[in-house]
Chain A
Amino acid sequence: MKQKIFLLFLSALPFFAMAQKKITVSGYVKDVKTGEALISASVYISNEKRGTTTNSYGFYSISVTQADSIGIVISYQGYTPQLFTVSGFTDQTLDYNLLEKPNDLNEVIVSSARNNNNISKVRMSVINIPMKQIKALPAIAGETDILKILQLLPGVQSGKEGTTGFYVRGGNSDQNLVQLDEATVYNPNHLFGLFSTFNTNAINSVTLIKGGFPAQYGGRLSSILDVTMKEGNKKKFSGEGGIGTISVNLTLEGPIKKNKSSYIISARRTFFDLITKTVIPKNKNNTTYSFYDINGKVNFELGKKDKLYLSFFTGLDDAKYAGASSLNYKINFGNSTAIARWNHLFNNKLFSNTSFIYNDYHLSLLTTQDKYYSQLYTGIKDVNFKTDFSYFPSSSHSIKAGFNYAYSTLFPSTTSAKVPRSGNINKPNLDSIEKQYSSIVAFYINDDITVSEKLGTSLGVRVPVFIKSDITYTTVEPRATIKYQLDDATSIKVAYTIMNQFQHLVPSSTASLPTDIWISSSRIVKPQTSQQIALGLFKNFKDNVYEASIEGYYKTMNNQVLFKEGAQSIQQTAIDTKLTFGNGQSYGAELFVKKNAGKLTGWVSYTLSWAYQQFDSLNYGKQFPFAYDKRHNLSIVAILDLTKKWTLSAAFVFTSGGAYTLPTGRAGVYGDGSLYDGTYNDYTARNNYRYRDYNRLDLSARYHWASKIFGKKYQSELVISVYNIYNRSNPYFIYLTKDPVTKNIKVIQVSLLPIIPGISYNFKF
């Protein structure tokens, strides 16, 4: 039945694309100073009161009814909007260059030109965060970070402090597809999750999609975080860098051939390890930490219709931590990606991109706690080939279609037991880990249809096929979003999506540390599937200065994976046999109010949500709260451009405590059961207790100034930041101790991050 609907949909597309007396206006929108593509810039046709946005390469194409002249407004947040009038008789290829606004020009915006993409676009549950705003937000130890800012958005929950990952609309952290230039980043974190692997100086744009997923995205249930690297300055050699409390970074970029090709190279490294080596004697140095990441990209214009992009990213973390008395761990993990992309413009209505992506990820973790250890190794190697076409046949249609083939090799291994008396824990033998080979082939097509001035829809379907030696899963994922615009400042939208996921991170819901491990779908491990419906009301005020939205969602998730009760591997055996499978559901409401312009900008985000799971073999088969079921989640973010030189920012976060499991009763063991420690526990429900509520306030002050060195102009910035300014002891994890004689039980809460002051100096030339 699903296949029939799909075929019907495909056959109907040409009828939608009926030709009229139209011309096509197409081109690129770029930064005037650097030539950098501006992604998701608004291109608005004032004659027809409608518009489009640029794609990931800054390209746009829109069909317009023939006219003597056409008014075009180009806008992008943080840039001065521009109004153009062009001839409307023939097709036009028009590249536009926008100028970044200086800090003091926030007020001088032509109100009609401030875009209302959040109202007019069919997409919902999508948030674009301008890099300028990211860089202005409070820093931790002098470093601004994308993931920390994501966690301030509605529907996004942070994990425990010091652990990796974020959680979107009740989904586990593995259900987020994090992409850097289309390459999957399996672990986007540095420093126990304090920072992401994304160096803000090398990033062009960040988009988070939580629902209403367009068909070009697949492979994850809960969200897409699409991060695009800068292309490099095509106009002149330039650079920026900085030194913070724990790291130093440098980015250099410039033209290879002016206005035609460019490069960018960006590197960041901690010096924490170098300092601790000198300050603490080697034999007492139980806490060391180092990370680095390097981003590089070159791009070439191969004529007017072809562009080639070559980029890479590599990052590594290596840490040894001896923190709370019960806890030690050693971790080493890294992501490396290499990407080649070729853009081809067939004509002004058909744009294509072909990508070849190589990805290598590994994580090796050894944790000891309470005389027990957990050792895991998880590795993933992906080779990915994809081709995407964007076709703009008429003013009513914007069609995307594509094909994707990915070949993955996963190396999962996990062992856990009591620490041997010798204290020596053998490293896993990587050659003996059973490898999991699989392929995914996916096809998709998506059409953004403008039915009328008020009504728009985005319809799509994705067909992924998962292939493993002994099993094949073929699934069909319909996607639909409908927008009805009540007026220029108000719209309502509804979205329905089905998603599938073939790679799974098996979480340990009770362990205090990230002992999660990636595995592939198999005959035993069925693909995770989700259905999500979201409904939203979007309203802008005061000429789009204020954006507000309220979204409700309901999501079901099948074939969720958890470890069985008591599952413990003392040897590297098939992990599949240690797993149990169940379902999940989540629902909630998200309120978002954002101020885009003025001296004071920022947002308030509040999420009220519920997330539950049900596994036949867990919790007596009854439903239980998801570990990250946090009822209330409030974020308040403010950025104040106090003067031309001073910018102040603050971020306050409050979240309800996550869930964890403790026994509710206990009983004695008699009859010479001395090895039972004298008691056994009566668990009445899983995840029955809650951590203490989490809250913290971060502050940051930035001082900017310009200076000249050897006649060359430099911009400098001093950032003073304080993380967790009132030094709240937020819970990291909880463990129990029992006196062997009195049998009295004590509950110990471990907190990781107290007040952390930071200072950094940044420069740009």
Chain B
Amino acid sequence: MKYPLHIFLVTVIFISFGCEKTITIKQQPYQSKLSIQGLITPNQKPQVYLNRTVPYFDPKVNTRELTIDNATVSLNDGISTFTLSFDSLYNYHYCQYDYFYSSPKVIQPNKTYMLAVIYNGVTYNATATTNQFKSAVTSISYTHKFKDLYGEHEGIIVGYTDKTGIGDYYRYEMGRMIDSSVKSVNAVKSSCTFGQKYYVKEIGRTIYPDKNVDGLAVTFVFEPNYSHKKDDTAYIRLQTVDKNISDFYDNLDRQKLAQFNPFVEPVFIIPGQFGDKAIGVFGAYAVSDSVLFIYPE
């Protein structure tokens, strides 16, 4: 009887512990595309991020490797065309440079801008109009526990009143000074600031349209990206974005939700302003005045 018992135990062990192993998948042929992310807002310099998409399993992950630095990028405001030049800013949290195209000329309100990107002989065009109204944050509070599509998390509750008329889209923006003890939600800490404080700006993934709440007082709860302590301060703003920004970032948000949750069908990126030729967005937004927020816990 001993022998069958041994067999049984071996079977129990096998069934109880499935086997995991890292495998190599042959990357499918992939035609790299241009990724364009250009957002403009009045009284600010334009920034257009221009990158190449890479095969999913490509080892290139560094921003410098992915950035396209030899394109011609220009904006036309209906009167004149000005060229944007290649520029960079150091990202202290990830300890690398972020590269973009910019211009010293600031964006004007209530104008339509046409973006033109010429790369490898192909021209990519899109337009955006800076006619978004400047909203106002009417209230801010904090909850240590909130449950939504993103799970159970802490949240900052932002209140505002929607402007009458359908077609407004909102998302939050928060600026803080942090140091290397602060982690982002993906558990990354700065490895290059050594206790020195640096500025981070985070922008919400979720887009809040005014469908069903047109003209009403509204609140939403957002999950801050960076960890915090009691009495840490932050400045909160509300962005009013155009439909192009709303469509693109809402698409990305739904994709991220599906990517993190293994029980949800994957979300494809819908061709937008650049058609099949490039992925991305060129849009305009307005920003509210900032409101000081102090973490209560």
Which residues of A are interface residues toward B (Cβ below 8 A)? 141, 245-246, 272, 275-276, 279, 287, 289, 322-327, 367, 369-374, 416-422, 508-513, 515, 562-568, 570, 619-620, 661-678, 680-684, 686, 688-689, 692, 729, 732, 734-735, 740-759
Task: Check if A367 sits within 8 Å of B61, measured CB to CB.
Answer: no
- Assess whether B186 is interfacial by the CB under 8 Å rule: yes
Task: Check if B30 sits within 8 Å of A566, measured CB to CB.
Answer: no
With contacts A680-B255, A743-B61, A759-B7 taken as known, whether A662 is within 8 angstroms of B25 at the C-beta atoms is yes
Smallest Cβ distance from A481 to chain B, in angstroms? 38
Binds A, one of B47-55, B72-80, B130-138, B155-163: B47-55
Give me 20 other A-B pairs in contact (C-beta within 8 A), A276-B12, A417-B150, A670-B100 excluded: A245-B11, A322-B16, A418-B151, A418-B260, A420-B152, A511-B263, A511-B264, A562-B265, A563-B264, A565-B267, A665-B33, A672-B203, A674-B186, A675-B185, A678-B94, A689-B28, A744-B59, A747-B25, A748-B23, A751-B18
- Looking at B10, B32, B57, B279, the one whose CB has the most chain A CB atoms below 10 A away is B57
- A260→B268 CA distance, assembly (Å): 65
User: In the complex, what residues of B have CB within 8 A of residue A563's CB?
Assistant: 264-265
Closest chain B residue, CB of each to CB of A376: B263
- A741→B33 CA distance, assembly (Å): 24
B96-136 contacts to A (CB < 8 Å)? 98, 100
Task: Check if B21 sits within 8 Å of A729, measured CB to CB.
Answer: yes
Smallest Cβ distance from A329 to chain B, in angstroms? 11
User: In the complex, what residues of A have CB within 8 A of residue B47's CB?
Assistant: 671
Task: Check if A662 sits within 8 Å of B56, measured CB to CB.
Answer: yes
User: In the complex, what residues of A have CB within 8 A of residue B258's CB?
Assistant: 565-566, 568
- Assess whether B211 is interfacial by the CB under 8 Å rule: no
User: In the complex, what residues of A have CB within 8 A of residue B93's CB?
Assistant: 674
Task: Check if A324 sits within 8 Å of B18, measured CB to CB.
Answer: yes
Smallest Cβ distance from A558 to chain B, in angstroms? 21
Smallest Cβ distance from A703 to chain B, in angstroms? 15
- Looking at B30, B47, B148, B201, the one whose CB has the most chain A CB atoms below 10 A away is B30
- A419→B255 CA distance, assembly (Å): 19
User: In the complex, what residues of A have CB within 8 A of residue B262's CB?
Assistant: 369-370, 372, 510-512, 735
Can you spell out 17 A-B residue pairs with CB atoms less than 8 angstroms apart?
A287-B16, A327-B18, A372-B261, A421-B152, A509-B265, A565-B265, A566-B254, A568-B149, A665-B55, A666-B54, A671-B203, A686-B268, A688-B28, A741-B188, A747-B25, A756-B11, A758-B11
Closest A-B pairs by Cβ, 10 of them: A418-B151, A374-B263, A420-B152, A667-B35, A323-B18, A743-B61, A670-B49, A566-B254, A566-B267, A667-B53
User: In the complex, what residues of A have CB within 8 A of residue B200's CB?
Assistant: 672, 674
- A662→B27 CA distance, assembly (Å): 10
Contact of B7 among A275, A420, A751, A757 (CB under 8 A): A757
Task: Check if B265 sits within 8 Å of A676, measured CB to CB.
Answer: no
Task: Check if A757 sits within 8 Å of B268, measured CB to CB.
Answer: no
- Assess whether B180 is interfacial by the CB under 8 Å rule: no
Task: Check if B256 sits within 8 Å of A677, measured CB to CB.
Answer: yes
Which residues of B are interface residues toward A (Cβ below 8 A)? 4, 7-12, 14-25, 27-28, 30, 32-33, 35, 37, 39, 47, 49, 51-59, 61, 63, 66, 93-94, 98, 100, 145, 147-153, 173, 184-188, 200-205, 223, 225, 252, 254-269, 279
- A357→B186 CA distance, assembly (Å): 54
Task: Check if B252 sits within 8 Å of A680, measured CB to CB.
Answer: yes
- A583→B205 CA distance, assembly (Å): 34
User: In the complex, what residues of B have CB within 8 A of residue A661's CB?
Assistant: 266
Smallest Cβ distance from B146 to chain A, in angstroms? 11
- A711→B277 CA distance, assembly (Å): 86
Task: Check if A568 sits within 8 Å of B11, measured CB to CB.
Answer: no
With contacts A665-B53, A667-B53, A744-B59 taken as known, whether A510 is within 8 angstroms of B256 at the C-beta atoms is no
Smallest Cβ distance from B147 to chain A, in angstroms? 7
Task: Check if A673 sits within 8 Å of B16, measured CB to CB.
Answer: no
With contacts A665-B55, A740-B186 taken as known, whether A416 is within 8 angstroms of B20 at the C-beta atoms is no
User: In the complex, what residues of B have CB within 8 A of residue A729's CB?
Assistant: 19, 21
User: In the complex, what residues of B have CB within 8 A of residue A245's CB?
Assistant: 4, 7-8, 11
- A744→B56 CA distance, assembly (Å): 10
- A760→B170 CA distance, assembly (Å): 66
Closest chain A residue, CB of each to CB of B98: A670
Contact of A568 among B203, B223, B264 (CB under 8 A): B264
Task: Check if B25 sits within 8 Å of A666, measured CB to CB.
Answer: no
Task: Check if A752 sits within 8 Å of B185, measured CB to CB.
Answer: no
Task: Check if B22 sits within 8 Å of A664, measured CB to CB.
Answer: no
User: In the complex, what residues of A have CB within 8 A of residue B100's CB?
Assistant: 670
- A741→B191 CA distance, assembly (Å): 10
With contacts A672-B202, A677-B186, A758-B11 taken as known, whether A667 is within 8 angstroms of B51 at the C-beta atoms is yes
Smallest Cβ distance from B38 to chain A, in angstroms? 9
- A571→B202 CA distance, assembly (Å): 29
Task: Check if A676 sits within 8 Å of B256, measured CB to CB.
Answer: yes
With contacts A670-B49, A674-B184, A684-B30 taken as known, whether A750 is within 8 angstroms of B56 at the C-beta atoms is no
Closest chain A residue, CB of each to CB of B16: A287
Task: Check if A566 sits within 8 Å of B255, measured CB to CB.
Answer: yes
Task: Check if B61 sits within 8 Å of A742, measured CB to CB.
Answer: yes
Task: Check if B261 sits within 8 Å of A670, measured CB to CB.
Answer: no
- A745→B63 CA distance, assembly (Å): 16
Task: Check if B22 sits within 8 Å of A746, measured CB to CB.
Answer: yes
Closest chain B residue, CB of each to CB of A288: B16
User: In the complex, what residues of B have CB within 8 A of residue A276's CB?
Assistant: 12
Task: Check if A565 sits within 8 Å of B188, measured CB to CB.
Answer: no
Contact of A668 among B15, B28, B63, B147 (CB under 8 A): B63
Smallest Cβ distance from A269 to chain B, in angstroms? 15
Contact of A663 among B15, B33, B35, B56 (CB under 8 A): B56
- A625→B190 CA distance, assembly (Å): 44
Smallest Cβ distance from A360 to chain B, in angstroms? 27
- A563→B205 CA distance, assembly (Å): 23
Contact of B261 among A323, A418, A742, A759 (CB under 8 A): A418
With contacts A570-B147, A664-B28, A749-B21 taken as known, whether A675 is within 8 angstroms of B259 at the C-beta atoms is no
User: In the complex, what residues of B have CB within 8 A of residue A322's CB?
Assistant: 16
Task: Check if A749 sits within 8 Å of B268, measured CB to CB.
Answer: no
Closest chain A residue, CB of each to CB of B144: A421
Contact of B257 among A508, A568, A673, A748 (CB under 8 A): A568
- A686→B28 CA distance, assembly (Å): 13
Task: Check if A370 sits within 8 Å of B266, measured CB to CB.
Answer: no
With contacts A565-B258, A668-B66 taken as known, whether A747 is within 8 angstroms of B22 at the C-beta atoms is yes
User: In the complex, what residues of A have CB within 8 A of residue B11's CB?
Assistant: 141, 245-246, 756-758
Contact of A323 among B17, B30, B148 (CB under 8 A): B17
User: In the complex, what residues of A have CB within 8 A of residue B261's CB?
Assistant: 370, 372, 416-418, 568
Task: Check if B265 sits within 8 Å of A567, measured CB to CB.
Answer: yes
- A620→B269 CA distance, assembly (Å): 9
- A272→B202 CA distance, assembly (Å): 52
Closest chain B residue, CB of each to CB of A515: B263
- A568→B259 CA distance, assembly (Å): 12
With contacts A666-B53, A749-B20 taken as known, whether A673 is within 8 angstroms of B203 at the C-beta atoms is yes
User: In the complex, what residues of A have CB within 8 A of residue B268's CB?
Assistant: 565, 619-620, 683, 686
- A326→B20 CA distance, assembly (Å): 10
User: In the complex, what residues of A have CB within 8 A of residue B185's CB?
Assistant: 674-675
User: In the complex, what residues of B have CB within 8 A of residue A289's CB?
Assistant: 15
- A323→B16 CA distance, assembly (Å): 6
Closest chain B residue, CB of each to CB of A568: B264
Task: Check if A508 sits within 8 Å of B21, measured CB to CB.
Answer: no
User: In the complex, what residues of A have CB within 8 A of residue B25's CB?
Assistant: 662, 689, 747
User: In the complex, what residues of A have CB within 8 A of residue B265's CB?
Assistant: 508-510, 562-567
Closest chain B residue, CB of each to CB of A563: B265
Smallest Cβ distance from A357 to chain B, in angstroms? 34
Contact of A508 among B223, B252, B263 (CB under 8 A): B263
Task: Check if B19 sits within 8 Å of A567, measured CB to CB.
Answer: no
Smallest Cβ distance from A683 to chain B, in angstroms? 4
Smallest Cβ distance from B170 to chain A, in angstroms? 16
User: In the complex, what residues of B have CB within 8 A of residue A734's CB?
Assistant: 23
- A92→B188 CA distance, assembly (Å): 87
Closest chain B residue, CB of each to CB of A692: B23
- Looking at B56, B223, B265, the one whose CB has the most chain A CB atoms below 10 A away is B265
